[in-house]
Structure 1
Amino acid sequence: MCCNRIMAVSVLAPSADLAPLIRAFVHAEIRESHTQILIPETGIVMALRFAGEAEFVDGFHVGHFAKAAVAGLAKVVRRVRATENGGVILVLFREQGAARVFAAPLDQLHGTIVALENLTSSSHVARLQEKLASAHNAMMRVAVVESFLRERLRGVSFDPIVDAAVRAIHTRRGALRIAPLARKLGISHDRLQKRFRCVVGASPKQLASIIRFRHVLAIRRSDASFAQLAHSVGFCDQSHFIRDFRVFTGTSPADFFRTATFCPSFWDAQTSLGAGDRP
């Protein structure tokens, strides 16, 4: 648990039956109004606010978050401003996990944040929010969310080709070409793209870019130089690395790392709980 004067964050593992779908639950209680940096995820994220308000900040643009929202994969760092005395649960889905819950093609969510009621019954969402508001602690709220998810499980199986591709991309930490990967898997490049987008919510190349960016952040915590970072994640030169980094953050690596701060437990939830692996 990460606990300071600004917020308290708990990372909770899902129950065994939901572990193939969900990497972790992140339960955050906001004590003081602040802006939190959320690094890109490798799976769909469902955010359920049980107290307070929140808004996303994009340069000079500010947008309001629905109390229950679903965020698609995106090659961008998101900045969220939360009010004091607020609270939220983040459901970090595994790459194919959200496809077991939501029927809509997940590539339609790419780069967007939509209200949960756009994907399921608004009355069910209202009931979920009521139960979360009346729960007294993180464990109780996670139990409420797990019950909600179990009721919506769809009778579909994981795509084995997509699963193999996801594992290969994670193994290479995003530093691989997709066309040779498709040939190795015995499928055309276009067919892999279509199947991947439908159940992951992004193309294989987009997922690879996200994984590589996350690897950059993990290495940077060990104080590697930018030249070392560029080389270790497969960039041919530092200038290419800096251009790609700007796509995600809107700023240079030097500026980003000088101003960005991460709660350790929140970071662990986003990086260390078995991304890309399933029991």
Structure 2
Amino acid sequence: MARWEVVHPAHPSRWAGVTMAGFRHHGPDPADVHVIPHPSITLALEFGSGPHVVDTDSGRQQQGNLVAGFMHDAIRVRGHAVECVQVRLSPVTAHAVLGISPAELDDVVVPLDQLWGHDATRAQEQISQARSWQERFALTNTLLIRRLAAGREVDREVAWAWNRITSSRGRLRIDDLAHELGWSRKRLWSRFRTQLGLPPKRAAKLVRFDHAVHRLAAGQHAAGVAADTGYADQAHLHRDVLAFTGTTPATMTSRVWLAVDEIAWTAHRTTNKPQ
């Protein structure tokens, strides 16, 4: 049976909007898992002996060091000897780290060297030579800090709007958000979409879904989750889960998902202790 080793850094990043984890696949069978949409930009820095391949619903394939924008649907990750450091970046942080607006990565997965050039190659070489997960995390963090310091920040109002959406867990009305900013709804939509890569309403929907699906993964009943997370009813939650994952709330909790969270969504996890 395929098993996943999932390792988290000993200490959280001191930069807001940055989370990391290490993934290593064990077993004679190839890895074959899905990554569901998440309110972040995802980087995968691989160092295993065999490249992992990412399949999207559009039929395109990518492999190696990758960056995935805001995905509309679940994507498939497969391969032999998969080993990688996965980094999740909020769109506010990603704007500076990547050197481009997340708007240019909407629903796509691209090779990281297209954005970072030699930085991506050097990062892979250093991570491959590291002797422990914690050393790999430290190397990755150093790279991110260097790029953050050199990158361009988003507008303060846009960053504030994103933080309001996430702190409300996606339950904030966009008209109320625009009012708090003193902006028109059209201005908020335009600035948010241009700088962060998705409209504010879709951002709120994705944040709310992420909060709800974590509770489902933890074993909570769908009706209670729907009521507590701002869905009109259980059917509304069902539609969102189906749209984002391709499966129902009842079946998604038994699937193997690859994610950087307190819950690495797999019954086959071997460890989450730092090494």
Q: TM-score range by the shorter chain?
A: 0.7 to 0.9
1:125 corresponds to which residue?
120
8 A contact 1:21–1:100 mirrored in 2: no
Match of 1:199 among 195, 200, 209: 195
Matches within 5 A, 1:81-100: 81-83=78-80, 85-100=81-96
| 2:156 is the counterpart of 1:165 | no
2:255 corresponds to which residue?
260
Three-state SS of the structure 2 residue aligned to 1:96 is helix
1:26 corresponds to which residue?
21
8 A contact 1:30–1:82 mirrored in 2: no
Structure 2: unaligned runs, 5 residues or longer:
266-275
Instruction: Please tell me the residue identity of whatever aligns with 2:188.
Output: L
Instruction: Please tell me the residue identity of whatever aligns with 2:236.
Output: H
Alignment CA distance shift 1:238-1:103 (3 Å): same
In 1, the alpha carbon distance for the partners of 2:12 and 2:236 equals 38
In 1, the alpha carbon distance for the partners of 2:26 and 2:264 equals 21
Which digits, 9 at most, give the CA deviation of each residue in 1:183-238, with x for residues without a partner?
A: 12111222222222233222211221111111222222454333323222222233
**TM-score, structure 1 as length reference:** 0.81
Same amino acid, percent of matched pairs? 28
Three-state SS of the structure 2 residue aligned to 1:152 is helix
Match of 2:37 among 40, 46, 50: 40
Three-state SS of the structure 2 residue aligned to 1:194 is helix
Give the Å deviation of 1:46.
1.0
Alignment CA distance shift 1:104-1:267 (3 Å): closer
Instruction: Please tell me the residue identity of whatever aligns with 1:56.
Output: V
Give the Å deviation of 1:63.
5.0
1:109 corresponds to which residue?
105
Give the Å deviation of 1:156.
3.1
Match of 1:72 among 69, 73, 82: 69
Instruction: Please tell me the residue identity of whatever aligns with 1:53.
Output: P
Alignment CA distance shift 1:78-1:45 (3 Å): same
1:143 corresponds to which residue?
138
Give the Å deviation of 1:57.
4.3
8 A contact 2:211–2:229 mirrored in 1: yes
In 2, the alpha carbon distance for the partners of 1:126 and 1:215 equals 35
In 2, the alpha carbon distance for the partners of 1:112 and 1:79 equals 13
Alignment CA distance shift 1:156-1:125 (3 Å): closer
More displaced stretch, 174-183 vs 41-50: 174-183
Which digits, 9 at most, give the CA deviation of each residue in 1:20-58, with x for residues without a partner?
A: 352x21111211322233232222111111112212345
Structure 1: unaligned runs, 5 residues or longer:
272-279
Which digits, 9 at most, give the CA deviation of each residue in 1:99-155, with x for residues without a partner?
A: 11222221110111111122122x332222222222222122223223333343335
Moved over 4 A (4+): none
**TM-score, structure 2 as length reference:** 0.82
In 1, the alpha carbon distance for the partners of 2:37 and 2:231 equals 19
In 1, the alpha carbon distance for the partners of 2:36 and 2:171 equals 19
Matches within 5 A, 1:46-57: 46-51=43-48, 52-57=50-55
| 2:3 is the counterpart of 1:9 | no
1:274 corresponds to which residue?
none
Alignment CA distance shift 1:124-1:221 (3 Å): closer
Task: Figure out how many residues of one structure are paired with residues of the other and give that number.
Answer: 260
Alignment CA distance shift 1:155-1:243 (3 Å): closer
Instruction: Please tell me the residue identity of whatever aligns with 1:115.
Output: P
8 A contact 2:257–2:264 mirrored in 1: no
